[in-house]
Amino acid sequence: MITERKSGVLLHVTSLPSYGGIGDMGPAAYEFVEFLASAKQRLWQVLPLNPTGYGNSPYAAISAFAGNPLLISLERLVRDGWLYQGEIEGLAGHGDPTDFDRAGREKQPLIERAAKRFLECDNTILQDKFARFCDAHAAWLTDYVRYVVLRRMHDYACWCDWAPEFAARDPKALAKFDDERCQELDIERAVQFLFTEQWCALKTFCTSRDIAVMGDMAIFVNYDSADVWTNKEVFRLDKEFKPTVVSGVPPDYFSVTGQRWGNPLYDWKLLEKTKFTWWVGRVRRQMELYDVLRLDHFRGFEAYWEIDAAAETAIDGKWVEAPGQKLFKQLKKELGELPFVAEDLGLITAQVDELREEFGMPGMRVLQFGFSDRGAHLHLPHRFVPNMVVYTGTHDNNTTLGWWYEQLNEADRANVVEYLGPLQHPNDVVWAMIRAAERSVAALCILPLQDLLHLGSDGRMNTPANPAGNWSWRYVPEALHPDLAQKLLAITEITDRDGYVEPEEVLVEPHVVEALESQAPVEQAVEEQHS
């Protein structure tokens, strides 16, 4: 439960204007944190930091535990002595949209070179720290590095198409592989160590500026992932390791056939028998990386839409109850308090609300969703409660300016103006929405950086219905102007989201007050109080 009013900014790490063609954990990240601090923002929300597969979506990762190597800063590797300055010259610059393919071609070999040099160094303190990291994370790290090397060895084919002995995880084949490819495996371990070191340093810097970091965790995992390859028994697969049922959502206003996401579904009965060991390990890793964790598709923890794997659409799926209550009780038992935010958008039932409220999790509201009809009014501030997170829009929305000009009809625009008040210029809708979010009773207000920068649809991060051209937006280095920080600071302070603490009242004994009122010497009254 959120008990203190705060505000923050939503920006994925890849959107930073870092050197090397993709945002990373280098100087630009620290400059962004300083910008947040100067505007008294108390939270930085990022998308999942896991290594991505095809499509580069952070929600379609090849591991639910590992970090994305492309987020490692080359400049920090130079500073720490693992690369030479000349080795990183001539790479993609700071200002263009992210080119994931180019970043992979140019950055990945340099990161692996740095990891190899790290392994060869004779710094006992560092090597001991690395050994402790490997031991502490062996439950996922050992098989993740195998998966990465095997995937490369099989020309990035899905694990189900690897040589049968590797797809089936034959113990003898894996033992031989470990022996023959030990150097490559160690390099991938070192890459994960370098990622964790850089991220923890950045998170520590955020803490020093009184800024919490909110991470994001997808409920489902990719079929082509180290997680499914390693833990086949956790998922509902047939004897040939193919999913029998997959994830999605039912038909709704936006799609008459629903959405077939295609992720393998969990064998919740088996997970329950193991006291949710896999989930406990997954969440424990997330809480090492973040202060707060957003749970994507929260309603799937109460009930999920099950689709036959052979079906082409989601239309014939069915709701199946999930053991969310038992899972969260086990997580709380093993990990303590659960600093979760529930992404409770979409088809939400009373049972979903009850599950969220039982564990004190704040839900989400998105202002852009509030103006289409009366049923959408729960996304407007007059319907909010304090234990809630409000956004103007999320990474899946258009920017507010793009939404206003490209998605609203005249009736919807009239509703917006009726609610927010007259606009001197249509472009003023952006800050009118920001002010409405900040003024609301919702304890946490998070704004996409694109809205603060007043960007149109060219600043959109993701269009869910369009699988191409997403996740590539980056802001330009000069965008974080001090004037913008001052403007954000002003609305933050006036809406009591800056962490201001009222001075405590000093209680004075009645006879001291009487002395003051009669203009008697204060010293005499104080002496009487202590006599």
Domain positions in the chain are 6-500, 503-531
Structure tokens at 389: 């997170």
Residue pair 521/529 in contact (Cβ under 8 Å)? The answer is no
- Catalytic residue chosen out of the listed positions 75, 184, 343, 451: 343
Cα distance between residue 340 and residue 389, in whole Å: 11
Distance CA 32, CA 480 (A): 8
Helix axes 350-358, 324-335, angle to 10 degrees: 10
Q: 157-160 contacts: CB < 8 A, separation 24 or more?
A: 158/223, 158/224, 159/224, 159/228, 159/229, 160/223, 160/224, 160/240, 160/241, 160/242
pLDDT of residue 235: 99
Catalytic one of 80, 87, 353, 396? 396
> In whole angstroms, what is the distance from residue 31 CA to residue 16 CA?
10
pLDDT at 513: 54
- What is the Cα–Cα distance from 309 to 253, expressed in whole angstroms? 24
Establish whether 296 is a catalytic residue: yes
Catalytic residue among 99, 178, 267, 296: 296
Catalytic residue status for 87: no
Concatenated DSSP letters for 254-290?
S-TT-EEEEEEPB-HHHHHHTTTHHHHHHHHHHHHH-
**Residue 526: its pLDDT value, please?**
44
Q: What is the pLDDT of residue 252?
A: 79
- In three-state secondary structure terms, 20 is coil
Quick one: pLDDT at residue 245?
99
Query: Using an 8 Å Cβ cutoff, are 235 and 228 in contact?
Result: yes
pLDDT at 368: 96
Domain over 6-500 is classified CATH 3.20.20.80: yes
Give the pLDDT confidence score for residue 525 in this predicted structure.
Answer: 45
pLDDT tens-digit profile, the chain (531 residues) = 888 999 999 999 999 999 999 999 999 999 999 999 999 999 999 999 999 998 999 999 999 999 999 999 999 999 999 999 999 999 887 878 999 999 999 999 999 999 999 999 999 999 999 999 999 999 999 999 999 999 999 999 999 999 999 999 999 999 999 999 999 999 999 999 999 999 999 999 999 999 999 999 999 999 999 999 999 999 999 999 999 999 999 987 668 899 999 999 999 999 999 999 999 999 999 999 999 999 999 999 999 999 999 999 999 999 999 999 999 999 999 999 999 999 999 889 999 999 999 999 999 999 999 998 777 889 999 999 999 999 999 999 999 999 999 999 999 999 999 999 999 999 999 999 999 999 999 999 999 999 999 999 999 999 987 888 899 999 998 999 999 999 999 999 999 999 887 777 666 666 655 665 665 554 454 455 454
Catalytic, 227? Answer: no
Task: Give the single-character DSSP code of 243.
Answer: B
